[in-house]
Amino acid sequence: MTDAMSASPFDDPERAAAAWARFRRIMRWMFLVTVTTVIGALTVLYRQEGMVSPHFYIAVAIGLAFSMLLMSALMGLVFLSSGTGHDEAVDDRNED
């Protein structure tokens, strides 16, 4: 491990705890947004199509929730990495 790699802000337990707490807070809000969006989408579908197979509504709810939560988690990790300065602490071996 090089010196540049060990200079990560996540080496400090307080900064790491604060960053992960922020990530969990973002994920809680995104879970609320996801649940609201799924309920809204199912309501719109029911009003437009009426009662079709329950499997249709289950598939829509699971697909929409999974997609939104996965995108939220990935973007949250990008914000976590960028916001703490971890990205700048990584050693770039391709520099001349």
User: What is the residue extent of each domain of the chain?
Assistant: 11-85
Per the model's pLDDT, the better-predicted residue between 20 and 92 turns out to be 20
* Confidence (pTM): 0.72
Task: Encode pLDDT of 41-84 as tens digits.
Answer: 999 999 998 888 999 999 999 999 999 999 999 998 888 877 77
Give the C-alpha separation, 31 to 40, whole Å.
Answer: 14
With 50 as the cut, is the pLDDT of residue 2 above it?
no
Q: How many CB atoms lie within 10 A of CB 1?
A: 6
Q: What are the percentages of helix, strand and coil residues in the chain, rounded to 5?
A: 80, 0, 20
Q: Are 49 and 43 in contact (CB under 8 A)?
A: no
Yes or no: say if 22 and 83 are a contact pair by the CB < 8 Å rule.
yes
Cα–Cα distance for residue pair 56/43, rounded to 1 Å? 13
